[in-house]
């Protein structure tokens, strides 16, 4: 599922205010517990990260090239 920054901001805002109900446009979601809300935030953050990696906006882990040398042959 595609997520956006507005959804993440709404979830984090609800968490800081202590609310369990979050609205995204015409949809409203009510979470049962704060832990469930935190899980939703983590899910959206992972989704945003995966989208950024997929589009090349977030670089992957750098490759390491190791060169071992000795004096002479």
Residue 43 resides in a domain: yes
Alpha-carbon torsion angle 4, 23, 36, 8, nearest 10 = 20
Q: pTM, whole model, 2 decimals?
A: 0.72
Q: Look at the chain and report how many structural domains it folds into.
A: 1
Residue 66 resides in a domain: no
pLDDT in tens, 14-39: 999 989 999 888 889 999 999 999 99
Domain region containing 45:
5-55
Residue 69 resides in a domain: no
Q: Is 41 exposed, middle or buried (0-12, 13-18, 19+ CB in 10 A)?
A: middle
Residue 28 resides in a domain: yes
Retrieve residue 54's tokens.
């997929």
Q: Rounded to an integer, what distance in angstroms lies between the CA atom of residue 57 and that of residue 68? A: 33
Tell whether the model's pLDDT for residue 9 goes beyond 80: yes
């Amino acid at each position: 599922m595609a997520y956006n920054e507005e959804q993440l901001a709404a979830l984090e805002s609800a968490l800081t205010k202590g609310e369990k109900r979050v609205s995204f446009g015409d949809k409203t979601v009510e979470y049962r517990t704060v832990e469930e809300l935190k899980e939703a935030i983590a899910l959206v953050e992972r989704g945003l990260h995966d989208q950024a990696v997929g589009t090349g906006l977030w670089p992957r882990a750098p490759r390491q090239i190791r060169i071992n040398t000795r004096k002479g042959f």
